[in-house]
Structure 1
Amino acid sequence: MVMLMLFTQINPMLVTMGTQAFDANDWIFEPKYDGWRILIHKEGKRVEAFTRNGRNVTSKFPELRKAMDAIHAHTVILDGEGVCFRDDRTIFDDFAYRGRLSDPIKIEAARQTHPATFVIFDVLYASSDRRNELLLERKRILNEIVEPSQQFIPTMYVHEHGKRLSTLSVERDWEGIVAKRQDTTYITDIRTANWLKIKNFKMIDTVILGYRTVPTFALVVGLHFRTMRNKPVAVVEFGFTADERLAFLQTAEKIQTNYKDGTQYIEPVLCCKVKYLERTETHHLRTTSFKGFLFDKKPEDCWWLYR
């Protein structure tokens, strides 16, 4: 196994997409947090944080200085998620906002308005290399050396009962859960089926901006953002009945505007509900399906959900 190097890029172990929650006595289950994957390196009083792609973001998060009090080990490398909480939910946009800042004055102000928390779920190094140790042993070590605080939290997990935690994640509007085999070691720079992310589908009301008929019928839908109205966020190809397609095309003929790059744009006066699994950092929705027209919805009310 390659020797770990402090304060340099380490490509973490990555999860595979799962399909649905399950129960199994040789797995544990954790909440899925909506933020940035962060690896924290500490040696004595020196602490640095890296994204999964190796970008050093230490200067963006003064909260890392609290590691001296929260992490009770001289030399460690920890794996986790950088998040911003609102109530008991993690808000991706808030942490992404923190990650975009570079002005020290704005960073200090954001520490008050958008405080960052680092949820730790694994330990790669603690006095010695821990990657060959099994997951539950790494969890034991993690809970021994990380003292819960506003800035650093060892993630919760449950044994066996993935369905129960998944139900809770839906009730609390979390992103989903992560399932992990108890007997796994930590292998850097791979994507493994021994770790599964099981995300919750979400619904959102969108404005119909246009449509395509080639190669298949699809709606181009958009949302309003603070800095932009009618931003395209998805091309929705699935979920339509034949009658819904026909009725839409008949209506769309009367409100067509310009045609560009395979899309016939229309006046943004119609709305529909879209189901989606996840979104990119630029708010593009993935794994989408059509869930019905919204005849009573006002297009000006179709905003991205800043929660």
Structure 2
Amino acid sequence: MLFTPIKPMLLQMGNNNEIIDSDEYIYDIKWDGWRILLHKEGDRVEAFTRHGNNVTAKFPELQEVGRSIQSHTAIIDCEGVVLRNGVSVFDDFAFRGRLSNTSKIQQATLTHPATFIAFDVLATDKTHTNKRLVERKEILSSIIEPSSNLLVTPSIGGNGSNIFQLTKDRGMEGIVGKRINSTYKTNHRSHDWLKYKHFKIADFVILGYKENPFTVLVGKRLSSGKYKPLANVEFGFKPEEKTAFREIAKQIVTKVERDMTWLEPILCCKVQYLEKTNTGSLRIVSFKGFNFDNVPETIN
């Protein structure tokens, strides 16, 4: 188990209107970065992504992380993030994950310092996956001395609605609700862990589409008059909406390039998204309906 890839326990999407305020649940802040499993034995510390990729070389901060773990052996589940004013910025950690040049990695430890925020422990000198979550949380807190590179995520028992509003006010991603008695099941998506995210909805111009899979390219008009693509929207379409769209689209085709059919930028739709990246692109998107009465605003 130690220093080998582990597929972590995954979350189900919860309904934001049905957050359970109950002592049977613990609520954690949902940090926006990469899911990372930290493995430690003595002075050796390695980091694996949820897909099993060893990314240790990308994060020299792991040396300090190892000193913060007050246990000779440990496997810790956490989120790798870059914090800006206490809020995790996905783009910044993704930037760290793309680096491979040693000198650029060292420079990035100053400009994009990585912090690993721990929320569960799978093992120390023995395996803890069969223990209750509340017990694992106690073990986790007991073996970590917080530092700038390793923190334990705050947890609140029972009051999910308040912490959800707090994270919204802070511009954070959302929260995770977990049953206090839940065990840790690797490679399993569990209803015992529910994520609640703060999504936004806005209007965008449809610039084109493709089939297989059916995907709509949306964007906005720049002040120069050109259009900037912002997201490929694949999910959320009903069969009848696809049919209606194709009937309209065939009347406004401007050109076809390989699998992309480009359209006159006159048809708008509503898109739900989690956040915008530094370049304005949309993350985690879904279709929420056509808007035939609105022309989205221009962006600079």
Q: Name the TM-score, length of structure 1 as normaliser.
A: 0.80
2:224 maps to none
Q: Which residue type is aligned with residue 89 of structure 1?
A: V
1:265 maps to 262
Q: Which residue type is aligned with residue 114 of structure 1?
A: H
C-alpha distance in 1 between matches for 2:137 and 2:91: 29
Distance 1:128 1:285, change over 3 A: closer
Post-superposition offset of 1:53: 1.2
2:73 maps to 75
2:57 maps to 59
The answer on whether the counterparts of 2:174 and 2:195 sit within 8 Å (CA) in structure 1 is yes
Structure 2 residue matching 1:28: 3-state secondary structure:
strand
Structure 2 residue matching 1:68: 3-state secondary structure:
helix
1:43 maps to 41
C-alpha distance in 1 between matches for 2:85 and 2:282: 22
C-alpha distance in 1 between matches for 2:52 and 2:259: 38
The answer on whether the counterparts of 1:78 and 1:122 sit within 8 Å (CA) in structure 2 is yes
Post-superposition offset of 1:235: 5.0
1:130 aligns with 2:128: yes
1:19 maps to 15
Q: Which residue type is aligned with residue 218 of structure 2?
A: V
C-alpha distance in 2 between matches for 1:96 and 1:6: 25
The answer on whether the counterparts of 1:222 and 1:234 sit within 8 Å (CA) in structure 2 is no
1:87 maps to 85
Matches within 5 A, 1:99-248: 99-204=97-202, 206-210=204-208, 220-222=217-219, 229-230=228-229, 232-235=231-234
C-alpha distance in 2 between matches for 1:206 and 1:296: 6
C-alpha distance in 1 between matches for 2:215 and 2:69: 51
1:274 maps to 271
The answer on whether the counterparts of 2:203 and 2:296 sit within 8 Å (CA) in structure 1 is no
The answer on whether the counterparts of 2:217 and 2:229 sit within 8 Å (CA) in structure 1 is no
Distance 1:236 1:66, change over 3 A: closer
Distance 1:29 1:262, change over 3 A: same
The answer on whether the counterparts of 1:277 and 1:287 sit within 8 Å (CA) in structure 2 is no
C-alpha distance in 2 between matches for 1:70 and 1:291: 51
Structure 1, unmatched stretches of 5+, are 302-307
Structure 1 residue matching 2:8: 3-state secondary structure:
coil
Distance 1:159 1:97, change over 3 A: same
The answer on whether the counterparts of 2:269 and 2:288 sit within 8 Å (CA) in structure 1 is no
C-alpha distance in 2 between matches for 1:97 and 1:201: 23
Distance 1:235 1:189, change over 3 A: closer
Post-superposition offset of 1:34: 1.0
Structure 2 residue matching 1:144: 3-state secondary structure:
helix
Structure 2 residue matching 1:39: 3-state secondary structure:
strand
Post-superposition offset of 1:39: 0.5
Distance 1:149 1:134, change over 3 A: same
The answer on whether the counterparts of 2:167 and 2:174 sit within 8 Å (CA) in structure 1 is yes
Question: What whole-Å deviation, never above 9, does each CA across 1:209-240 have from its counterpart, x for those lacking one?
Answer: 1368x9xx99641369xxx942542258669x
Q: Which residue type is aligned with residue 172 of structure 1?
A: R
Q: Which residue type is aligned with residue 4 of structure 2?
A: T
Structure 1 residue matching 2:158: 3-state secondary structure:
strand
Structure 2 residue matching 1:275: 3-state secondary structure:
strand
Identity %: 44
2:96 maps to 98
2:4 maps to 8
Q: Which residue type is aligned with residue 165 of structure 2?
A: T
1:289 maps to 288
Alpha-carbon RMSD = 3.4
C-alpha distance in 2 between matches for 1:235 and 1:27: 33
Structure 2, unmatched stretches of 5+, are 222-226
C-alpha distance in 2 between matches for 1:237 and 1:188: 29
What is the aligned length? 283
The answer on whether the counterparts of 2:272 and 2:285 sit within 8 Å (CA) in structure 1 is no
Post-superposition offset of 1:185: 1.5
The answer on whether the counterparts of 2:204 and 2:296 sit within 8 Å (CA) in structure 1 is no
